Amino acid sequence: MAVTIKDVAQRAGVSHPTVSRALRGDSSVTLETTTRIQQIARELGYIPSAAARSLKTNRTRVVGVLVHRVSDPFYSRVIDGIQDTLHPNAYSIFLASTNNDRTRQAEIIRAMTERRVDGLILCSMFITPEYFREIQARGASVILLHNRAAKITPFTLYHNDRYGARQMTRHLLELGHTRIAFLGNTRAGRESAERLKGFKQELDAAGMTPNPRYIVHAAFGQPPAAAEPIQALLALAEPPTALVCFNDSLAIGALQVLHNAGKRVPQDWSVTGFDNITIAEFMNPPLTTFDQPKYSLGAQAANLLLRLMESPGTDDSTWNIPSLRGEILVRGSTAPPPH
Amino acid sequence: MAVTIKDVAQRAGVSHPTVSRALRGDSSVTLETTTRIQQIARELGYIPSAAARSLKTNRTRVVGVLVHRVSDPFYSRVIDGIQDTLHPNAYSIFLASTNNDRTRQAEIIRAMTERRVDGLILCSMFITPEYFREIQARGASVILLHNRAAKITPFTLYHNDRYGARQMTRHLLELGHTRIAFLGNTRAGRESAERLKGFKQELDAAGMTPNPRYIVHAAFGQPPAAAEPIQALLALAEPPTALVCFNDSLAIGALQVLHNAGKRVPQDWSVTGFDNITIAEFMNPPLTTFDQPKYSLGAQAANLLLRLMESPGTDDSTWNIPSLRGEILVRGSTAPPPH
DNA sequence: TAGTATCTTGCACACGTGTTCATCCCCTAA
DNA sequence: TTAGGGGATGAACACGTGTGCAAGATACTA
C-alpha cells in the first residue's frame, strides 16, 4: 500500500538494511550513499512504520495519560505541561479519560497495554498496589500523579494538600476571622481529607477548636455542587464569616450562591479557593487561592517519566523526586471580617 | 519478553493460528478448545500486541486529535465528546497540541503518519488543501473541525459563526442598544471575520451603520487580551453601551476591565460572550452568550469519522454532514441601555 | 606481491500476529 | 466397505523494520 523501506532500497539500488542504516544516521554507511538515500526517501515520501519498528525494537515511544476528565481545568493544564515536555522528545501521547468509572479505567489500561506504551502517567484515584504492580510487570514505567494512596510507589508526584490548606486557613486567621468554615469534596477522597486535616491543624495551632457545623461537603468538585452545603451554612443561627473551599470550582459556585443570597464578598464573607485555575483571577471578586503549579506538575511528571524510561529497572528510591509546594495568592475574595 | 500467542499455543497444545482464531471468536474452532484457550490466555495474562496486529491488518484503531491547546475551555469539551464516542468503539486517541506553531504542527502530523492512525480530527487553522490531500492520500480519514478554509473537504464540521453573531447582536438591538461594539480576535482569522460579518449584517438589517471606532480586536483569545481594546473603547468620547465579544474568555476579561473602571454590568454596559464555556454561567454577572454544542460537536465529529473509517474511499458529498447551530442563552450580563 | 586490517554492504533471520491453503480425521450415505 | 464431504487444525507465508554476521572491496603494510 504505502511506500516501504524496500521501495526506497530498490530505487536506490541498495538493500533495505542499508536504507535502514542510512536513515538512522549510522556512520557505517558512506556519506554519499546516505545523502542519496535520504534524497530518494524524501522524493518517494517514505515515512517509516512505527508498528514495524516497535515490533522489532520493543519500544513504542508512546506514553499513556489517564485523567478523569479532559475538560477539568486543573488537569487540562497538567496535560499542557506533559505535552510540551514529551513532544520535543519525540514521544506521542495516548490520552484517555475515565469519567470516574472503574470499568472504563480498566478498559483503558488494557488498551494501553495492548499498545505497549513505554510509560504511563496516571492521575486516577482507583489505582491499587496490585494493579500498579501488574502494570509495572509488563515493562511500562509508571508515574502516579495526585493519587489517593500515595505510598504505592516512590514515583508519585502530588502537591502538598495539607500545607496548602494550612496556608489558606492561616491567611483567614490573620485577617481576624474566628468563624471559619470548610467545604470539602466527597468524591476527592484522600485529597479532600488531607485538606480538611490541614484546616483543622491550623485552627488547633491557633488554639481554636473547629466547629463541626462549619465542616460541610459537596458531592463532587464542580460549581453547582456548592449550592446545597452553602445553603446549609447560611441557615445556621451563627453563620461563618469565612470559607475555605476544596478547590476553585467549588469556590466559584459558592461565590454565586452567596451573591444570590445577598451576601457581599469579601465584605460579609471571605472565600478562598484552591488550585488557581486559569479563570480564578478573572472572577468578580478575583479569587484568593492556593496556586498549584499545574503546568510544572505535568512537566515534572513527564521529565521524571523520561528518566525512568531511559533507565528501566532502577526501582530504587535513590531518585530525586521533585516536590512542588505551591504558594498562596491573595486576591480580592478575602478581607477582614465584618463589624 | 512478554507472553506471546505462541506461549499460549504451546501451553494449550495447539498451534498459534488456532489460538488467534479462538481468541477472536472464530466459529471454526471447537467451543471446547475455545474456552480452554481463553482460560489459558487469562491464566498467562496474555495481551496481544497491537503493533504486530496492525502490521498485518493495516489498521491501528487509533485516531489522532489535533488542537492548539488542551487547556482551551472550548476544545477540552470537544475532546470530551470525542473521547466518549470513540472509547466504546475501541479506538484510542493520540492527542497533541500545536501551540499555534506551524513547525510543531508539521512534526505532529508526521508522527501521526508514522503511527499510521486510521483517522484524524484536526482543529487547526493551518491546514491547506495540499496538506489535506497529502494526509488523505496516505489512507487516513480526515475530519476538519472549525477550520478557517471550510471548503477543503465536505467533511468539515463548524458552527455557524455568522448566525451566532447575528443572534447576539439582535438581542442587544432588541434591548434598545444603539451604540454596540464588537471585540474580535486577531489570532482566530476567518472565525473572527465571520462573526464580525454577522455583527455587521444584523446592524445593516436594523438600518444602522456600524461605527468603525466600535470595532476593536484582541491579539489572542484569552482574558488578558481584552484589556487594551476595552481601554480604547472606554477612552472614546462617546463610548458604546454594549459589547459583542468574540468568545467567553474575552468577555470575561472585558468584565474585569469594566469593573475596575467603575462600570457596572449590565446597568452601564451590556456584554455578550460566545461558546458558553463551563464557567460562563458562574460569572458575576452570569454571562449572556451563544451556546455552542461543544460536546456534541466532538461527538458528531467522532461519529462521522467512524463512518468514514468503516467505508473508506467514498469521497462523495452524498454524506449527510450534521450542522450544529447552537442557541442564545440570555443571562445576567445584558440589560437595556442606561437612561 | 601477498597478507591483513578496515570499511561498506548484503543475506538471513527475528519481532508477533493474521490468513490462505492443505491436511487429517471422523461421520454419513451408497 | 468405501467414497465423499465437512469440520477442525496446522504449515507456511506475509506484514515492515532492525540487527548480527559474513562477504566483498579497498587500502595499507611488510
pLDDT band at A323 (very low <50, low <70, confident <90, very high): confident
- Nearest Cα to B272, choosing from B257, B296, B289? B289
Residue B120 resides in a domain? yes
* For A47, nearest residue in chain B (alpha carbons): B114
Q: Which of A11-25, A32-46, B82-96 has the highest mean pLDDT?
A: B82-96
The length of chain A, given as a count of residues: 339
From the CA of A29, how many Å to the C1' of C2? 29
Residue A148's contacts (CB-CB under 8 Å, 6 or more residues apart) are A125, A189, A190, A191
Burial string for B141-163 (b: 16+ CB within 10 Å, else e) reads: bbbbbbbbbeebbebbbbbbbbe
Asked if A155 and A144 count as a contact pair (C-beta separation under 8 A), the reply is yes
The pLDDT mean for chain B works out to 92
Q: Which of the pair, B319 or B76, is modelled with greater confidence?
A: B76
CATH code assigned at A178: 3.40.50.2300
State whether A310 and A234 are in the same domain: no
Residue B167 grid cell? 443572534
* B112 to A99: CB separation less than 8 angstroms, yes or no: no
List strand residue ranges (DSSP E) for chain A, in order: 62-67, 92-97, 119-122, 141-145, 156-157, 180-185, 215-218, 242-245, 270-272, 289-291, 327-329
State whether A220 and A255 are in the same domain: yes
Asked if B188 and B221 count as a contact pair (C-beta separation under 8 A), the reply is yes
Please give the nucleotide, over all strands, whose C1' is closest to the CA of residue B26.
D8
CA torsion B171-B177-B178-B182 (nearest 10°) is -60
Distance from CA of A66 to the nearest CA of B (A): 12
To which residue does cell 471571605 refer?
A: A270
* For B52, nearest residue in chain A (alpha carbons): A55
For residue A126, what pLDDT is reported? Answer: 79
Q: Is the pLDDT of residue B132 over 60?
A: yes
For residue B316, what pLDDT is reported? Answer: 57
Q: Please write the tens of the pLDDT for every residue from B245-257.
A: 999 999 999 999 9
State whether A149 and A165 are in the same domain: no
From the CA of A52, how many Å to the C1' of C24? 35
Amino acid making up residue A41: A
Amino acid making up residue B158: Y
pLDDT band at A317 (very low <50, low <70, confident <90, very high): low
* A83 to B104: CB separation less than 8 angstroms, yes or no: no
Q: Which of the pair, B334 or B147, is modelled with greater confidence?
A: B334
State whether A287 and A302 are in the same domain: no
H/E element holding B18?
A: helix B16-23
Nucleotides of chain C in contact with protein CB (under 7 A) are 7-12, 14-20
Distance from CA of A319 to the nearest CA of B (A): 26
* A116 to B50: CB separation less than 8 angstroms, yes or no: yes
Residue B66 resides in a domain? yes
The DSSP code sequence of B60-89 is --EEEEEES-TT-HHHHHHHHHHHHHHGGG
* A54 to B58: CB separation less than 8 angstroms, yes or no: no
Provide the number of structural domains found in chain B.
3
State whether A172 and A282 are in the same domain: yes
Amino acid making up residue A95: L
Task: Tell me the CA distances in angstroms from B137 to A339, B92, B229, one per residue in order.
Answer: 73, 22, 44
Could you list the protein residues whose CB lies below 7 A from any atom in strand C?
A 13-18, 21, 27-30, 33, 52, 55-56, 58; B 1-2, 4-6, 16-17, 20-21, 23-24, 46, 48-49, 52-53, 55-57
Residue B66: CB atoms within 10 Å: 22
Instruction: Report the residue from A51, A114, A139 with minimal CB separation from B116.
Output: A51
| Strand duo A215-218 + A180-185: pairing | parallel
**CA within 13 Å, CB half, A116:** 25
Q: Is the pLDDT of residue B317 over 70?
A: no
Q: Which of the pair, B317 or A179, is modelled with greater confidence?
A: A179
Residue B14 resides in a domain? yes
State whether A182 and A287 are in the same domain: yes
From the CA of A8, how many Å to the C1' of D28? 35
pLDDT band at A316 (very low <50, low <70, confident <90, very high): low
The pLDDT mean for chain A works out to 92
Asked if B164 and B198 count as a contact pair (C-beta separation under 8 A), the reply is yes
Residue B253 resides in a domain? yes
Residue B9 grid cell? 499455543
From the CA of A49, how many Å to the C1' of C12? 21
For residue B318, what pLDDT is reported? Answer: 63
Residue A150 grid cell? 500515595
Q: Is the pLDDT of residue A136 over 80?
A: yes
State whether A288 and A304 are in the same domain: no
Residue A7: CB atoms within 10 Å: 16
State whether A151 and A183 are in the same domain: no
State whether B172 and B243 are in the same domain: yes
Q: Is the pLDDT of residue B152 over 80?
A: no
Determine the 3-state secondary structure of A183 from DSSP.
Answer: strand
For residue B315, what pLDDT is reported? Answer: 58
Amino acid making up residue A74: F
State whether B287 and B300 are in the same domain: no
State whether A286 and A309 are in the same domain: no
pLDDT band at B172 (very low <50, low <70, confident <90, very high): very high
Which residue range forms the structural domain that includes residue B17? 5-48
- Nearest Cα to B121, choosing from B73, B77, B194, B62? B62
Q: Which residue is nearest to nucleotide D19 (CA to C1')?
A: A17
Stretch B140-154: mean pLDDT, rounded? 76
Distance from CA of B207 to the nearest CA of A (A): 36
Amino acid making up residue B100: N
The torsion region of residue A313 among left (phi > 0), alpha (psi -120 to 50) and beta comes to left
State whether B152 and B103 are in the same domain: yes
Peptide bond into B285 cis (omega under 30): yes
Peptide bond into A266 cis (omega under 30): yes
Residue B37 grid cell? 484457550
Instruction: Report the residue from B84, B108, B284 with minimal CB separation from A259.
Output: B284
Q: Which residues pair with B175 in a beta bridge?
A: none
Q: Is the pLDDT of residue A106 over 90?
A: yes
The length of chain B, given as a count of residues: 339
Taking contacts as CB-CB distances below 8 angstroms, the residues of chain A near B278 are 71, 222
- Nearest Cα to A171, choosing from A339, A338, A337, A324? A337
Q: What is the Cα gyration radius of chain A?
A: 26
Q: With 0-12 CB in 10 A as exposed, 13-18 as middle and 19+ as buried, what is A263?
A: middle
Amino acid making up residue B169: T
From the CA of B31, how many Å to the C1' of C27? 19
Q: Is the dihedral of CA A297, A302, A306, A312 positive or negative?
A: positive
Residue A38 resides in a domain? yes
Stretch B103-109: mean pLDDT, rounded? 95
Helical segments of A240-330, H only: 248-260, 294-310
Distance from CA of B252 to the nearest CA of A (A): 7
Taking contacts as CB-CB distances below 8 angstroms, the residues of chain B near A73 are 71, 73
Nucleotides of chain D in contact with protein CB (under 7 A) are 7-12, 14-20
Distance from CA of A207 to the nearest CA of B (A): 36
Residue A132 resides in a domain? yes
Stretch B186-207: mean pLDDT, rounded? 94
Q: Which of the pair, B193 or A150, is modelled with greater confidence?
A: B193
Which of A77, A271, A279, A294 to probe the B interface (max B CBs under 10 A)? A279
Residue B65 resides in a domain? yes
Residue A338 resides in a domain? no
Q: Which of A88-92, A130-134, B36-40, B267-271 has the lowest mean pLDDT?
A: A130-134
For residue B148, what pLDDT is reported? Answer: 57
Q: Please write the tens of the pLDDT for every residue from B200-242.
A: 999 999 999 999 999 999 999 999 999 999 999 999 999 999 9
For residue B189, what pLDDT is reported? Answer: 83
From the CA of B32, how many Å to the C1' of C24? 19
pLDDT band at A189 (very low <50, low <70, confident <90, very high): confident
The answer, as to whether pTM is greater than 0.85, is yes
Cα separation, B91 vs A59, in Å, equals: 21
